[in-house]
A and B are shown apart, each in its own frame.
Chain A
Amino acid sequence: MNNQNKSINLGQSAVLLLLVCFIGLIANHIYGFTGANKESMSFFMRLIEGPSSLIGGMAEAFYGMVVIYLISIVGLAIAKYMPFYLPSIAWISLLAILVASPISPVADIVIATTAKVHFLALTTSVLAYAGFAIGQLEIETFKKSGIKIIVIGLFVFIGTYIGSVIIAEIILKSTGQI
């Protein structure tokens, strides 16, 4: 199979990644705020206090985000120059595992700095973009297939999830892992 990642534009990706990492820092700060003070503060208090202490809070996670940024861009470069195809996120993932594994000389730094970045905070912007990305294709598909495809889709998710969970449970139990 040809490597279709050859067309990745690294310069452009570097700029776009910078933007999403910056948004990630904002999200991460506010997320930390709602996580820690969740019970004691009202939504409006969080909305005021979160953004107003933004600069100091963002500094804390800054180095972690730099590490995450570097892994993402180097992973993309690997995806581009490898002779065979794997999705670019697979390369990013494998690189992240490698630099954080016990054989890595920088594992401690990678783990300690990125501990300040919460993974869920990095997904808020993904879903915001996904909401804006709904276009004609999605709307046409529903006009064509209607409610049927929604029902089938939900059964596909249930089947895949529960199927995987059951197999995992059986094998983990039989190999004595749990």
Chain B
Amino acid sequence: MRSLLNPKLHLLVVFIVIISDSIGIHKISLGVGAMILLPLFYAFILATLLNPNVVQASSKIIDKVSVKSSVAFVTIAIMPFIAKFSIGIGPKLNEIINAGPALIFQEIGNLATMLIAMPIAILLFKMGRESIGSTHSIAREPNIALISDKYGLNSPEGVGVMGVYVVGTLFGTIFFSLMASFLASLDIFSIQSLAMGCGVGSGSMTAACSGALVAMKPELEGTITAFAAASNVMTYATGLYMSLFVALPIAEWFYKVLSKKERV
């Protein structure tokens, strides 16, 4: 417990939070579309630069032992966000129930992950069974648990899932907010669908994604948060089972198809 409450780490976090939220939200025009920069984005970059594991010189400010407990705090700090975010569903419950079929079926959207990413992994990068681990799902904690249970984390599948997990941890949040704001600025899809798509990943991906959408369309904040939150709950509740019974068997089959093609 005492190691968890190391004051230096938390004071640095407070300092980073004050700076990042003072910078605020910024919108960048890109000609065809626009992208949104959020405070969480700056916070991640500042903390990465102060992390002695990444930047050696930062060990003068905080040592490697002191940052260790931050892993536990990522899990804890996301809980108040999840609570606040899900409260947003309450007043919109009827709308969400009406959208029930869409919410259930969009979980199948996970399968599109594989259809796009696996051919790239196998045909372009000549990957082996790592591709099953890396592209069968969006590789968050439940998927790692599943892969480690089935193949072991030292197997090729395990290396694959850990790789995408790490990419998600490092770039997922930022990438999701940029992707969502860009797609929203093109005006192809309804805000409800864009918000639902936000819920497919981890809590912070959902936050970044829907935060970017709210920055684009502030007047629709209630709808955006309700749909994103509902989709995120669905992902938490069904994600593991979806991977186990649907995505992973299809990934095994698709791998066979693609690697056969590769041999010919």
Residues of A participating in the B interface, judged by any CB pair closer than 8 Å: 12-13, 15-17, 19-21, 23-24, 26-27, 30-31, 33-35, 38, 43, 46-47, 50-51, 65, 68-69, 71-72, 75-76, 86-90, 92-97, 99-102, 104, 107, 110-111, 114, 117, 119-139, 141-142, 144-145, 148-169, 171-172, 175, 177-178
Bound complex: CA of A21 vs CA of B10, how far in Å? 12
Residue pair B18, A26 in contact (C-beta under 8 Å): yes
Interface string of B192-235 (1 = CB under 8 A from A): 11101111110110011111001000000000010001011100
Residue pair B167, A30 in contact (C-beta under 8 Å): no
Residue pair B166, A138 in contact (C-beta under 8 Å): yes
The contact of A30 among B5, B21, B49, B76, by CB within 8 Å, is B21
A35-B24 CB under 8 A given contacts A23-B17, A102-B93, A165-B194: yes
Residues of A contacting B86 in the complex (Cβ-Cβ under 8 angstroms) = 92-94, 96-97, 100
| B248 on the A face (CB < 8 A) | no
Residue pair A16, B101 in contact (C-beta under 8 Å): no
Residue pair B114, A159 in contact (C-beta under 8 Å): yes
Residue pair B1, A12 in contact (C-beta under 8 Å): yes
The contact of B164 among A102, A119, A144, A156, by CB within 8 Å, is A156
A160-B85 CB under 8 A given contacts A20-B76, A72-B80, A136-B53: no
Residue pair A43, B84 in contact (C-beta under 8 Å): no
Residue pair B39, A124 in contact (C-beta under 8 Å): yes
Bound complex: CA of A71 vs CA of B82, how far in Å? 10
Bound complex: CA of A138 vs CA of B171, how far in Å? 12
| Residue in A26, A30, A46, A124 whose Cβ sees the most chain B Cβ within 10 Å | A124
Residues of B contacting A157 in the complex (Cβ-Cβ under 8 angstroms) = 138, 168, 172, 175-176, 179, 201
A177-B83 CB under 8 A given contacts A93-B229, A97-B89: no
Extra contacts, 10 of them, besides A130-B70, A130-B173, A152-B120 (Cβ < 8 A), are A15-B5, A127-B173, A152-B117, A154-B175, A155-B116, A155-B135, A157-B176, A175-B98, A175-B99, A178-B190
Bound complex: CA of A126 vs CA of B102, how far in Å? 30
A164-B110 CB under 8 A given contacts A123-B40, A172-B99, A178-B192: yes
Count CB-based A-B contacts (< 8 Å). Answer: 418
CB of A136 to closest CB in B, whole Å: 7
Q: Within residues 44 to 64 of chain B, which ones have a CB less than 8 A from any CB in chain A?
A: 44-51, 53-54, 62
In the assembled complex, 21 residue pairs joining A and B whose CB atoms fall closer than 8 Å, in A order, are A12-B4, A31-B21, A35-B25, A38-B25, A43-B24, A90-B236, A120-B207, A129-B13, A129-B70, A131-B46, A134-B51, A134-B170, A137-B162, A153-B167, A157-B176, A159-B115, A162-B183, A165-B196, A165-B197, A168-B103, A169-B193
Q: Within residues 115 to 139 of chain B, which ones have a CB less than 8 A from any CB in chain A?
A: 115-117, 120-121, 125, 127, 131, 134-135, 137-139
Residues of A contacting B168 in the complex (Cβ-Cβ under 8 angstroms) = 153, 157
The contact of B105 among A51, A114, A160, A171, by CB within 8 Å, is A171
Bound complex: CA of A107 vs CA of B88, how far in Å? 11
Residues of A contacting B116 in the complex (Cβ-Cβ under 8 angstroms) = 155, 158-159, 163
Bound complex: CA of A99 vs CA of B156, how far in Å? 44
Bound complex: CA of A138 vs CA of B197, how far in Å? 26
Residue pair B17, A13 in contact (C-beta under 8 Å): no
Residues of B participating in the A interface, judged by any CB pair closer than 8 Å: 1, 4-5, 9-10, 12-14, 16-25, 38-41, 43-51, 53-54, 62, 67-68, 70-74, 76-91, 93, 98-99, 101-103, 105-117, 120-121, 125, 127, 131, 134-135, 137-139, 141-142, 159, 162-164, 166-173, 175-176, 179-180, 183, 189-190, 192-194, 196-201, 203-204, 207-211, 214, 225, 229, 231-233, 236-237
The interface residues of chain A, by DSSP majority, are classed as helix
Bound complex: CA of A177 vs CA of B48, how far in Å? 42
The contact of B83 among A96, A129, A132, by CB within 8 Å, is A96
Bound complex: CA of A93 vs CA of B196, how far in Å? 16
